[in-house]
Each structure stands twice: as C-alpha cells, then as structure tokens.
C-alpha cells in the first residue's frame, strides 16, 4: 500500500503546483496572506506566455494542425483536409484536400479514406477514378468499415472500374457481413 499512497501524494503535489502556476494575478493562494498581491505578479497566463498551441476541432489557427499532420497525427490531417475542402479559414483547395484525406487514410482514419474515395469517384479536386475509389474503400474496409467493404465488393462483382474478381468480391462480402452489413450476408437459408 505504500506505493499507492506515495503515488497519490505525488498526484496531489502535481495538482497543487499546477493550481499555483495557473492562478490569476490578484487571486489569493490558499494559506497566503491576504495582501500577497502587492508583489508585482506577471499579468500574462502561462498559455499566453508562449505555451505550445494545440490542434483542436474548434481552433482558429490551422498551423498547429498542419504541424501535427506533418508529424503523422491522423486527426490533424483530417481536420485540415476538411477545412481546406470547405475553405474554412484557409483558401479552398480541393486537390490539397484530397491529398490530406489520403494522408489521414494512410494514418488509419476511416472517415478520411471514405471521403477521399468520394472525392476520387466524383472527380472533386482530382480526375475521376473508380479504381482509386475502390482502392481507398478497401483500406477503409481493412480498418473495419463494413459499408466500404460492401461497395468495394459490388465493384469487383460487377467489374465496375476494376477488373471482375469474384473471389476477391466474395472475401469483401464476407468482411462486410462480419462488420454488420446484413445485406452483404446473402441468403443463408438452404432450399
């Protein structure tokens, strides 16, 4: 039990230090004399004093997100891609948006795989390509997206934009079924 108690003590100490460090000027630290604010305290908070900016969904600045995307953080790539696609705070650039969604897809973000696939099949920012759409949907399928498995399976079943490949289609249909797409399960009843 001593290890738990010491861990708790360390946690309490960290919280206390953080509370003191972020106390607003003019506020009273518990246990400090009431007139301790007469010392000239800095007027800027720690966040304003050059702390690292973070990529968040509602961030006004996109630069931290671009930097995190460059470091391989899928969420950041997806966020920048969506903002570039809409022209939200950045110049609208559909080609860049597709590339950023593809980057996020490589980093295992299913929604970006699906969005990049949509953009490729519709020719949004890139020349239309059913083959590239199916390739991206197969990546989303491998990440567990059943609907992507079913759409890719149908393409291989019909030879739509990709070579007809019944065996590969059957494998994708099975993955779609396992992922919960009941229409992909086929008729399991025997006559």
Q: Check if the beta carbon of residue 97 is closer than 8 Å to that of residue 119.
A: yes
Token reading at 12? 């309490």
Close Cβ partners of 46 (under 8 Å, ≥ 6 residues apart):
21, 22
CA nearest 84: which of 72, 74, 96? 96
Q: Check if the beta carbon of residue 118 is closer than 8 Å to that of residue 107.
A: no
> What pLDDT does 56 receive?
85
User: Phi, psi (5° rounding) for residue 165?
Assistant: -145, 90
The arrangement of secondary structure in 53-128, i.e. its CATH architecture, is Alpha Horseshoe (1.25)
Query: So where are the chain's domains?
Result: 53-128, 131-179
Token reading at 46? 């720690």
CA nearest 23: which of 56, 10, 31? 31
> What pLDDT does 52 receive?
64
pLDDT tens, the chain, 191 aa long = 444 433 433 333 333 333 333 344 444 444 444 444 444 444 444 444 455 678 887 777 889 999 999 999 999 999 999 999 999 988 999 999 999 999 999 999 999 999 999 999 999 999 999 999 999 999 999 999 999 999 999 999 999 999 999 999 999 999 999 999 999 998 543 33
Model pTM score: 0.69
Question: How many whole angstroms separate alpha carbon 183 and alpha carbon 18?
Answer: 54
Token reading at 102? 């593809």
Q: What is the DSSP string of 79-145?
A: HHHHHHHHTSSS---HHHHHHHHHHHHHTT-HHHHHHHHHHHHHTSSS---HHHHHHHHHHHHHTT-
């Amino acid at each position: 039990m001593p290890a738990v108690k010491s861990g708790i003590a360390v946690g309490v100490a960290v919280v206390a230090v953080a509370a003191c460090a972020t106390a607003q000027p003019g506020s009273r630290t518990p246990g400090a004399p009431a007139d301790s604010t007469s010392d000239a305290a800095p007027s800027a908070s720690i966040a304003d004093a050059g702390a690292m900016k973070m990529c968040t969904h509602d961030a006004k600045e996109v630069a931290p997100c671009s930097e995190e995307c460059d470091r391989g953080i899928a969420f950041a790539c997806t966020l920048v891609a969506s903002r570039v696609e809409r022209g939200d705070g950045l110049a609208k650039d559909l080609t860049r948006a597709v590339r950023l969604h593809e980057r996020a897809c490589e980093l295992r973000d299913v929604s970006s795989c699906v969005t990049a696939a949509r953009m490729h099949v519709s020719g949004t920012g890139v020349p239309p390509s059913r083959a590239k759409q199916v390739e991206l949907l197969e990546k989303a399928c491998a990440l567990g997206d059943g609907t992507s498995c079913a759409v890719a399976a149908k393409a291989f079943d019909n030879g739509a934009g990709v070579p007809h490949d019944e065996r590969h289609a059957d494998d994708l249909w099975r993955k779609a079924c396992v992922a919960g797409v009941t229409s992909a399960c086929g008729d399991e009843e025997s006559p």
